[in-house]
Amino acid sequence: MAVTTLTESQQAQDRRRWIALIVVCLAMLMNALDSSIVNVALPSIQHDLGFSQSTLTWVIDAYLITFGSFLLMAGRLGDLIGRKRVFLGGIVLFTAASAMCGLATSQSMLIAGRFAQGAGGALSSSVILAIIITEFPQKTERAKAMSAYIFVAVGGGAVGLLIGGVITQAISWHWIFFINLPIGIATFFLGIALIKENVGLGIRNGVDIAGSILVTVSLMVGIYAIVTATQYGWGSLHTLGFGALALALMVAFFVVESRIKNPIMPLRILKLRSLTGSSVVRAFVATGMFSMFFLGALYLENVLGFNALQTGFAFLPIAATMAILSSGITARLVNRFGPIAVLIPGLIAMASGLFIVAFAGPNADYWTQIFPGFILMGFGAGTAFVPLLSIAMEDVPHEDAGLGSGIVNVSMQMSAAIGLAVLSTLATNRTATLKAAGHSTLSALSGGYQLAFIIAGACVLVGLVLTPVLLRDPDPDTMQTHDQDDEAAHIVHLP
């Protein structure tokens, strides 16, 4: 009878964990959709609210600045006061801000809503990885859960382009924000019921207020310098000044963290080679992959003449390929061959896909020249990001999982922001040079995007070269011991 009861309890616990995974992935889906869904609606937003070309960028930049700035602090806050609390608080803020954006009747109202959306997105997404690794302590299950997370986090960007195109053309741009409301409300109430709260480290020893302010303001200033560099120029006093200020604030942050007893970021975590090494590789990979969603959409629309809906459908092969791999294929490959053996072919495929699109040209046929590249990129993303996550979080102690999750997210967001800003500048400069040399507008635009895609592919190749240098597979003996210990702990704590 006791055995039967234990088995039923285990089954109930397993069901709760997998449904909880769906809940946190719903939150991640909102964040992923929001990073791309707005792009295809920008012309409509500009027309309705009277944005100039320069002020229109703030519809994107406002979200990026607060999202990237609060990730690290929010992740650590989850370790201290409870990840469930931080997650649910982020959902509430993000959902309320989405309503504000949808109801916006002025530029200032929309931009303020986007700032608030970014903060809410940071709070919720910063602790998702930490929730996953604590809910799924066993290696096999964790790989499956991370596959689902990666599909939503990366594939959601491709899906967002399609949904944004459909909604903008069929209804209005306001509804790209309103669709977050039912998702956010459902996620909040399901999260209350299904997500288990961790025992926070507590704030009885004081809160590192100085460190929290320094790291948040440093990231905010740094991201602001990056996203406005295309407007002011990389060598301008504006960009260099804010960049120097961000660097000085970050140095001050590390000084503070090394001298206090209860730092928001214990510097010991930076000694974890798996976390820091994977963050470097991920930075180069994210630069290549995430730039494609923005610049690739511009290439399809401005060069090949696709409308918003056609652009959304064009990116579906990336999401579809990732969905297939996320069904358990990547998890099984990682468990059988190890993370690095799966990561390397993924990076090769991703770089190959970028190079194929780079050489498509101004008169490319989608099915023979773009589609194969997108399939390879989907395969690469579906097989590369999961091993990188597995390696990154492998040695992070459970009590620091929120901080580790924050570092993973910051490395991806900062590199994506820097990469997009740099590649956009290079593409614009290349287009101007070709126009001055007598090329047609279409040919010049294509040449600019081609250069950006080539550099994006090269960035992924740099990540490939750094992989054997910076990363190593977890020790099999250690992994087996951890799995046995985690499984025993999991059974002991069953209700």
Task: List the CATH number of the domain containing 318.
Answer: 1.20.1250.20
CB 449 within 8 A of CB 292: no
pLDDT per position as a tens digit, 266-295: 888 888 999 999 999 999 998 888 888 888
Crossing angle of helices 339-358 and 273-302, rounded to 10°:
20
State whether 64 and 146 are in the same domain.
yes
State whether 227 and 131 are in the same domain.
no
pLDDT per position as a tens digit, 294-349: 888 889 988 999 887 888 889 889 988 988 998 889 999 998 999 999 999 999 99
Distance CA(362)–CA(417), nearest Å, equals 26
CA angle 458, 459, 460 (to 5 degrees): 90
* Cα-Cα end-to-end distance for the chain: 16
pTM of the model: 0.83
DSSP H or E stretch at residue 39? none
CB 150 within 8 A of CB 137: no
State whether 322 and 464 are in the same domain.
yes
Distance CA(155)–CA(348), nearest Å, equals 19
Distance CA(211)–CA(69), nearest Å, equals 13
State whether 224 and 134 are in the same domain.
no
Structure token digits, residue 116 = 């608030």
CB 471 within 8 A of CB 274: yes
User: Given this model, what pLDDT does residue 485 score?
Assistant: 42
State whether 329 and 446 are in the same domain.
yes
Number of structural domains in the chain: 2
State whether 226 and 160 are in the same domain.
no
Report CA 47 to chain centroid distance, whole Å: 29
Which residues have CB under 8 Å from 82's CB, separation 6+?
197, 198, 199, 200
State whether 280 and 419 are in the same domain.
yes
Residue with tokens 């109930």: 12
- pLDDT tens digits in sequence order for the chain, 495 residues long: 444 455 777 777 788 889 999 999 999 888 888 877 887 788 789 889 998 766 887 888 888 888 888 888 888 888 888 899 999 999 999 999 999 999 999 999 999 999 999 999 999 998 998 899 888 888 888 888 988 888 888 877 778 878 888 888 888 899 999 999 999 999 999 999 999 887 666 666 566 788 888 988 999 899 889 888 878 888 999 999 999 999 999 999 999 999 888 888 888 888 899 999 999 999 999 888 888 888 888 899 889 998 878 888 898 899 889 889 988 899 999 989 999 999 999 999 999 999 999 999 899 999 999 999 999 999 999 999 999 988 998 888 888 888 888 888 888 888 888 888 888 888 988 999 999 999 999 999 999 999 999 999 999 999 999 999 999 887 655 444 444 444 333 333 322
Which residues have CB under 8 Å from 217's CB, separation 6+?
69, 249
Distance CA(240)–CA(245), nearest Å, equals 9
Give how far Cα 367 sits from Cα of 7, 16, 308, 358, Å. 51, 42, 18, 15
DSSP state of 236: S
Of 71, 27, 78, give the one whose Cα is nearest residue 191.
Answer: 27
State whether 312 and 189 are in the same domain.
yes
Tell me the backbone φ, ψ of residue 11, rounded to 5 degrees.
Answer: -60, -40
State whether 156 and 36 are in the same domain.
yes
Of 378, 362, 358, give the one whose Cα is nearest residue 314.
Answer: 378
Task: Say how many C-beta atoms besides its own lie within 10 A of residue 189's C-beta.
Answer: 12
3-state secondary structure of 143: helix
Give how far Cα 223 sits from Cα of 169, 217, 227, 390, 416, Å. 32, 10, 6, 27, 11
State whether 87 and 224 are in the same domain.
no
Crossing angle of helices 83-102 and 107-125, rounded to 10°:
160
State whether 203 and 221 are in the same domain.
no
State whether 468 and 340 are in the same domain.
yes
CA angle 326, 310, 302 (to 5 degrees): 115
Tell me the backbone φ, ψ of residue 239, rounded to 5 degrees.
Answer: -65, -45
* Containing structural domain, residue 245: 208-263
Looking at this protein, which amino acid is placed at residue 8? E
